[in-house]
Amino acid sequence: MLAKNKNIILSIFFITLAMLACNLPGGAPATEEPIWTDTVTPTVTATIIASETPSPTTVAEACAPIVTANTVANVRSGPGQAYGIIGSIPQGGTANVAGKNFDGTWWYIEFAGGNGGFAWIAGSVTSAACIPDTLASIAAPPTPIVPTATPTNTGVPTVAPSATATPGFIFLTPIFLFPTATSTPFILFPIFPIPIGP
């Protein structure tokens, strides 16, 4: 039995030795192949979102079209000097503009003394401001009719001299003579030759 145990121990010893011999390094060192591992590096991308702060917007103040008189300016019933003067605007005075004539030389303004509350003022005596491109063109009223002067009859007849007039006589009115209070009155018809002609 001792021999049998001895054989088992020797067998285990040789097997262990064989196993160790396989694991011993040989003449050339074994090269280890590198083990590649994918390393995931998390990338943090910062996205900057610009917050839009409301910038103050410039709101254009609405202005009304006006004219300012550069001098004492006549206001007329139509766009021209043929129309009557219905008032005036003092130097520096202003008026709201409602329109213009077709060639843009007269302004159609709000004026209490005008027809329907409107009248005309010359652009040459005013300065305009805030006039839009869409300002209405207003047709001029009919030009006033100026009466022509008619000759007046003075009652004195005029006698045109005639080149063919011939001398003649003019009879005068009778003359009553009363020489004295006691004498008898008499009538005298004097006839004087008076030439008639040139």
Three-state secondary structure call for residue 22: helix
Query: In this predicted model, what pLDDT tens digit does every residue of 31-50 receive, in sequence order?
Result: 556 566 566 565 656 555 65
**Does the pLDDT at position 152 exceed 60?**
yes
Would you say residue 81 lies in a domain? yes
- Domains of the chain: total: 1
Question: What integer is the mean pLDDT of 103-124?
Answer: 95
| Domain-located, residue 43 | no
Kindly provide the b/e burial profile for residues 139-154, where b requires at least 16 CB atoms within 10 angstroms of the residue's own CB: ebeeeeeeeeeeeeee
CATH code (residue 75) = 2.30.30.40
State mean pLDDT over 115-132.
96
Higher pLDDT, residue 192 or 117: 117
Mean pLDDT for 18-31 is 61
CA distance linking residue 119 with residue 4, whole number of Å: 146
SS3 state at 156: coil
Q: CA-to-CA distance for 117 and 96, rounded, in angstroms?
A: 11
Q: Which residue segment(s) compose the domain that 86 sits in?
A: 66-129
Domain assignment of residue 80, yes or no:
yes
Average of per-residue pLDDT values in the chain: 76
pTM above threshold 0.75: no
